[in-house]
Amino acid sequence: MDFKASLCAALSNASGLPCDQIEGMLETPPNPEIGDFALPCFKLAKVMKKAPAAIAAELYEKLGSIEGFSKIEPVGGYLNFFTDRSSFAKTVIERVLREGDKFGSSDEGAGRNVCVEYSSINIAKPFGIHHITTTVLGHSLKRIYDHLGFKTVSINHLGDWGTQFGKMIVAYNRWGDREKIENGDSMRELVALYVKFHEEAEKEPSLNDEARAAFHRIEMHEPADWELFQWFKEVTLKDVARVYDLLGVDFDSYNGESFYEDKMPAIIKELADKGVSKIDNGMTIVDLSEYDMPPCIILKSDGSTIYATRDIAAAKYRKETYDFYKSLYVVAYQQNLHFRQFFKVLELMGYEWAKDCVHVNFGMISMEDTTFSTRKGNAIYLEDVLNTAIDKTLAIIEEKSPNLDNKAEVARQVGVGALVFSVLYNNRIKDYTFSWDKSLNFDGETGPYAQYTYARSCSVLRKAADAGVSLDFTAADIDFAVLSDEASGNLLRAIDTLPEAIVQASEKYEPYIISRKVIEMCSCFNKFYYDNRIMDDDPAVRNARLALTEAARTAIKVGLFLVGLEAPERM
Ligand code: ARG
């Protein structure tokens, strides 16, 4: 039953206005006591040439009854509509049971590709806590777009080019220990070499010349240096794979900055040929003063390319390779200017698809906990934070559920989930201070709370099955009318609005819209669970409540998945 469609058809009949116009006028009242839909009649005043209250009265007369609705109420200038509780319950539950894990999915994106670039770590630099937001936000957006039928391409645009790799070569050749790097914490060993280079170069400035020469050899693909450079990448990627595995994150492409090196000459030529770039003080730049921005530098005076040049090449490559409908860049707001600049350059090059490139920016994260301090200039490694989250969660589980079977596995799912959920619970642009107490609170608006509620719904169904009740609801005798109580109604409405939350999250690039919906569904489920006796003696009542439990379980799982959380069945 499509309530809105039925309502629009009836209203269109009564008013003579087209359905889609009516649909645009309908509102959802702030609270279901007032109604499930409302028509503010002042919006019709112009066409019907009457006062809103008179319009409400007239339409009320003409409407009579509407299929799927139990009551219509004219109140002042409004017409309020109440869906029939039991057909609403039936509609929602049947849809969720039919769609299962695909609940809320659509084919909106069919035939369209979306590039989602996220994480984009730097080789031989720490994979720090500051990288968590791009990593989990991008991963969630990828899942959301996949759910809506788009074909996504996830890209880790590695920071793997630049003079620092010359420094790494010099440092490695002098002080490096292959064994130690390969068998230990590779990334930390490489970072330590990089730090040592800078200390030593203070005393021995000629090291910098050596580093420049070494980077030049990389640019020339001199075999020994090129191999070392590739090896730095290889060991770093092997190391970070542990973090990606913990988070359940993966990528279709690891084409980073170095991948575009051989595509630079063509871009530089194109910019010159199209008259977009010019030479200024020995540099090649794109003047953006007309757009109130500093110039975008294409080539430095020594002829080397920079970050922006490689981004221009990468954007073009992505368009040519993936023919994207949208290309998202999940990168911190510190780079706002950079993105505005190079998107503008793409536009000046005549690429109308520049408008489809979106900088999905986000605020900074800091840690409340002092055991992770950056005061000494040390980076906070994301892997350490994740492992701490898992350890802390394990301690909580040991206390709460000492008899749980696979504690270590659940601690991983819940510990990691706590961190991810807390990052994705707020508007992305806000700066955010992470707190262990808040994130790991099983009773707060947290990942653990949502996962715990999910496990509870599983347990209700498990117990029913153990008691010999069939969970095949297609054939069951179900009395949907018993789901007219307030708690059940609120739960049904929360579930019913998940699909539109998913669409909104995709339009605004804001997974928090889904996380909040998950919490709403969970608190409604818990209220329903406490208010109602699910295993009622009357089979039709029991089946209705079990079917609603199954619908809630499914919807919560879908929501958790879309923000990147696993859903443990026992906790
Ligand atoms: N590697 C960069 C960093 O860690 C982020 C890269 C962002 N993406 C891009 N296409 N510029 O700061």
For 410-455, the pLDDT digits (tens) are: 999 999 999 999 999 999 999 999 999 999 999 999 999 999 999 9
| CA 508 / ligand 1 centre spacing (Å) | 21
Cβ atoms within 10 Å, residue 369: 15
The DSSP letter of residue 294 is: P
Rounded Cα distance, 148 and 508, in Å: 14
| CA 122 / ligand 1 centre spacing (Å) | 8
278-319, pLDDT tens digit by residue? 999 999 999 999 999 999 999 999 888 899 999 999 999 999
Question: How do the domains of the chain map onto residue ranges?
Answer: 3-83, 113-257+303-366, 422-562
Question: Phi then psi for 323, rounded to 5 degrees?
Answer: 40, 55
Question: Phi then psi for 157, rounded to 5 degrees?
Answer: -80, 85
Rounded Cα distance, 264 and 275, in Å: 17
Statement: residue 370 has pLDDT above 80: no
Distances (CA, A) of 99 to 29, 73, 92, 490: 27, 34, 11, 21
Statement: residue 377 has pLDDT above 80: no
Distances (CA, A) of 86 to 208, 332, 486, 532: 76, 47, 13, 17
Using DSSP's 3-state secondary structure scheme, residue 111 falls into coil
Domain 422-562: CATH superfamily, name plus number: Isoleucyl-tRNA Synthetase; Domain 1 (1.10.730.10)
Helices 186-203 and 206-219: crossing angle, nearest 10°? Answer: 130
pLDDT of residue 374: 52
| Contact (Cβ atoms closer than 8 angstroms) between residue 205 and residue 346 | no
User: Is the CB of 257 inside a 6 Å radius of any atom of ligand 1?
Assistant: no
| CA 334 / ligand 1 centre spacing (Å) | 11
pLDDT of residue 247: 97
Tokens linked to 369 = 């906990």
User: Is the CB of 157 inside a 6 Å radius of any atom of ligand 1?
Assistant: yes
What amino acid is encoded at 504 in this protein?
A: Q
* Strand ranges, E, within 343-483: 357-360, 365-367, 432-434
Statement: residue 521 has pLDDT above 60: yes
The neighbouring-strand residues paired with 128 are: 381
Which residue would you say has higher pLDDT here, 463 or 370? 463
542-555, pLDDT tens digit by residue? 999 999 999 999 99
The neighbouring-strand residues paired with 155 are: 117, 253
Which positions ≥6 away from 307 have C-beta within 8 Å? Answer: 257, 338
From 118, 131, 157, the mutation candidate for ligand 1 (largest count of ligand atoms within 8 A of CB) is: 157
What amino acid is encoded at 432 in this protein?
A: Y
Q: Of 249, 225, 234, 216, whose CA–CA distance to 160 is shortest?
A: 234
User: Is the CB of 122 inside a 6 Å radius of any atom of ligand 1?
Assistant: yes
User: Is the CB of 15 inside a 6 Å radius of any atom of ligand 1?
Assistant: no
Q: Of 196, 240, 538, whose CA–CA distance to 386 is shortest?
A: 240
Cβ atoms within 10 Å, residue 200: 15
Domain covering 113-257+303-366 in this structure, CATH number: 3.40.50.620
SS3 content of the chain, % helix, strand, coil (to 5): 60, 10, 30
User: Is the CB of 161 inside a 6 Å radius of any atom of ligand 1?
Assistant: no
pLDDT bracket for residue 369 (50, 70, 90): confident
pLDDT bracket for residue 14 (50, 70, 90): very high
What amino acid is encoded at 543 in this protein?
A: N
User: Is the CB of 142 inside a 6 Å radius of any atom of ligand 1?
Assistant: no
191-245, pLDDT tens digit by residue? 999 999 999 999 999 999 999 999 999 999 999 999 999 999 999 999 999 999 9
Rounded Cα distance, 548 and 402, in Å: 30
pLDDT of residue 530: 97
Q: Atom 1 in ligand 1: which residue has the minimum CA distance?
A: 159
Distances (CA, A) of 556 to 88, 490, 548: 19, 15, 12
pLDDT of residue 61: 95
Mean pLDDT of the chain: 95
User: Is the CB of 135 inside a 6 Å radius of any atom of ligand 1?
Assistant: no
Which residue would you say has higher pLDDT here, 367 or 257? 257
Which positions ≥6 away from 389 have C-beta within 8 Å? Answer: 415, 416, 418, 419, 436, 439, 440
Statement: residue 375 has pLDDT above 80: no
The DSSP letter of residue 358 is: E
| CA 254 / ligand 1 centre spacing (Å) | 13
Using DSSP's 3-state secondary structure scheme, residue 450 falls into helix
User: Is the CB of 120 inside a 6 Å radius of any atom of ligand 1?
Assistant: yes
Using DSSP's 3-state secondary structure scheme, residue 360 falls into strand
C-alpha torsion sign, points 558, 560, 564, 570: negative
| CA 156 / ligand 1 centre spacing (Å) | 9
447-498, pLDDT tens digit by residue? 999 999 999 999 999 999 999 999 999 888 999 999 999 999 999 999 999 9
* Strand ranges, E, within 156-286: 278-280, 283-286
Rounded Cα distance, 563 and 331, in Å: 18
133-177, pLDDT tens digit by residue? 999 999 999 999 999 999 999 999 999 999 999 999 999 999 999
From 187, 335, 336, 338, the mutation candidate for ligand 1 (largest count of ligand atoms within 8 A of CB) is: 335
| CA 431 / ligand 1 centre spacing (Å) | 19
Domain covering 3-83 in this structure, CATH number: 3.30.1360.70
**Which numbered atom of ligand 1 lies nearest the CA of 122?**
1
| CA 159 / ligand 1 centre spacing (Å) | 7
Instruction: Provide the percentage of residues in the chain whose pLDDT is more than 90.
Output: 92
Statement: residue 373 has pLDDT above 60: no
Regarding beta strands 113-117 and 326-330, do their DSSP bridges make them parallel or antiparallel, or are they unpaired? parallel
pLDDT bracket for residue 1 (50, 70, 90): confident
Rounded Cα distance, 171 and 211, in Å: 9
